[in-house]
Amino acid sequence: MQAIVETLFDAVYLTSVITIGILMIRGSKGNRQFGLFGWMAVVLGVGDSFHLVPRALALCTTGLENYTVSLGIGKWITSVTMTIFYVLLYYVWRQRYKITGQGGLTAIVYGLAGVRIALCMMPQNQWLSAGAPLAWGIYRNIPFALLGLLVIILFYRSSKEHGDKAFSRMWLTIVLSFGFYIPVVLWADAIPMIGMLMIPKTCAYVWTVLIGYFAMKQECM
């Protein structure tokens, strides 16, 4: 039952975000904000597919233990693409609220993203091992969480200042995604059921993408 439900959920998720991303890229009509948002959605879906597709195959065939290498590579790729997702979201913020300058802020974003990606590349992560160390899972997620926190603050403050109803809940979707993700990082190995939090975490990302899509339909169509 888990294999069927999880596979169907992941198939709907991946198809939805990639399709919405393509529709946004094609429908942005030169609006850089929504073009970036579309690419952001595609990066999200394609990146997650490297992990979710092998997981679905594992669940529907011989089990997760026989797909350790492909699942590890998928997690590795997803960790990098999720970082790129937040850098693109930062640029969506700049475009939407017409932010200029602030080179220091951009340097912080790139610095946190660079540290996160560098940590993901370290062999100590043991991506291809079934017993990847928890400590390195925490290390690589510290700059990621800080990057997410920064983006949360930026969208919260700017949406309030500009009375931006379309993006008024963008900050909340990111809060929820991290709120569901962090317990998985910390305790999923010890308590496997906590891994189920990845479902609402995924729903939070779908909400993020839909906010951009509906805003585009309202403002560009």
**Would you say residue 45 has pLDDT above 80?**
yes
pLDDT tens digits along 95-108:
999 999 999 999 99
**Would you say residue 70 has pLDDT above 80?**
yes
Domains and CATH numbers, the chain: 2-220 (1.20.1070.10)
- Closest by CA to 177, choosing from 92, 85, 74, is 85
Average predicted confidence (pLDDT) for the chain: 92
Q: Average pLDDT of 2-17?
A: 89
